[in-house]
Amino acid sequence: MRYFRPSAGAMIAASMIAFSITCASAIPLTGFGSEVQAQRHCPDDLVVWLDFRKGIYYAKRQRYYGRGAAGSFVCRGEARGSGYRRSLLGLR
């Protein structure tokens, strides 16, 4: 029975591919203190409330929109691109 033994070059190439996948750059996240400032920054996108502690964002119609000390108003596209997910809680 023969075993596959990768060469050093194959190992380096595999590690470079794995590193590039795990270190993919996220969209820069710009937080704002007010909804108006965030809307000026991204006029073609929705503004959401990003809760940094929970890693989720709330839309305007949701209960926790604009609430909490550890949060900020951001553009929804930036929040999604940075790996934050939407909250399903607090829908009215």
Q: What is the pLDDT along the chain (92 residues), one digit of tens a residue?
A: 666 565 655 555 555 554 444 444 566 788 899 999 999 999 999 999 999 999 999 999 898 999 887 899 999 999 999 999 999 876 65
- Count the domains in the chain: 1
Question: Looking at the domain assignment, is residue 52 inside a domain?
Answer: yes
Question: Looking at the domain assignment, is residue 67 inside a domain?
Answer: yes
Q: Note down the domain range covering 46.
A: 27-86
Question: Looking at the domain assignment, is residue 12 inside a domain?
Answer: no
Question: Looking at the domain assignment, is residue 91 inside a domain?
Answer: no
Whether the Cβ atoms of residue 32 and residue 73 lie closer than 8 Å to each other: yes
Residue with tokens 């609430």: 67
pTM (predicted TM-score): 0.67
Q: 51: closest CA among 21, 4, 17, 90?
A: 90
Question: Looking at the domain assignment, is residue 31 inside a domain?
Answer: yes
Question: Looking at the domain assignment, is residue 14 inside a domain?
Answer: no
Q: 72: closest CA among 39, 30, 36?
A: 30
pLDDT at site 44: 95
pLDDT at site 77: 94
